[in-house]
Structure 1
Amino acid sequence: MATFDSVWRRIEACSGQVFHTKTGVPFSYAVRHGQVHLNNTKRIIPRSDFVKAHALMPLNGPGRISNLVQGSAYVFGVLTDRRIGP
């Protein structure tokens, strides 16, 4: 598995691109000050939430991390996308 720093660099590099949740909902984001700012909601997800979820990879769905991180569907969508992980 990739180190989280390399994953985070890919997350930053893909800022503004379209991703999808497991159920197919499209979204994009911007990375600012170590946080992911979702463009389709007012939700802001801290880098630390991605660290927590990444430590549990591989995941089958966002349910396993829903009580650990904010915006679990979005975190799952980013971390499992071929541009970001594994």
Structure 2
Amino acid sequence: MANFWPLIIVAILFIGVSYFFGIRPLRQREKQHDQMVLELEIGDTVITAGGMYGKVDSILEDSVIIEVESGAKIRMTKGGIVKREGDSIDLNRQY
């Protein structure tokens, strides 16, 4: 039975390291994105996951309508907004 303790300790350490280098940063990024989406205002310039730039025309409960350069209005989920223009991106962040 005593031979199993090192194995258990290594397994616990592996789970801890996996959490701090994998799951925890992912949750922090999700919280930052959720906060950014909550702070969206009409008129903000945003960048979508598809790389399109547009201005927020209206904000609905689960979606956003953005107006792109051509004047077309596109409805998309709030999760499709990657960032607001002017918000900084940390290029040194490890993903």
TM range (shorter): 0.3 to 0.5
Name whichever structure is richer in helix by fraction.
2
Higher RCO (CA 8 Å, separation ≥ 6 residues): 1
Structure number with larger C-alpha Rg = 2
| TM-score (normalizing by structure 1) | 0.40
- TM-score, reference length from structure 2: 0.38
